[in-house]
Amino acid sequence: MQTIGFILLAGMQIYSYLIIIYILMSWFPNARESSLGQMLGSVVEPYMEPFRRIIPPLGMIDISPIVAIIALHFARYGVQALFF
């Protein structure tokens, strides 16, 4: 069971990094339109979409990715509680 827990925790950590990379890509012109940006978008956007619907952007700042990462970290704590 611990092996499954380790795999889930590692996957969630990698997914957090993918979200951060996707956020940083918005700072560079046309980075999200590249093949890497489109691939990351297809992986990250389904998770980010519900947060974007609930949390509106504050001016030009979108805080929904921060909330999404925090929710993912709370999910990691849940996985740790279940498997360890």
**pLDDT interval class at 2 (50, 70, 90):** very high
Which tokens is 17 given? 């990094």
What pLDDT is stored for residue 81 in this prediction?
A: 95
Tens of pLDDT, residue by residue over 4-58, are 999 999 999 999 999 999 999 999 999 999 999 999 999 999 999 999 999 988 8
pLDDT value for 34:
95
Rounded to the nearest 5°, which phi and psi values hold at 34? -70, 170
What is the domain partition of the chain in residue ranges? 2-83
Q: What is the pTM of this model?
A: 0.91
Q: What radius of gyration, in Å, describes the C-alpha atoms of the chain?
A: 14
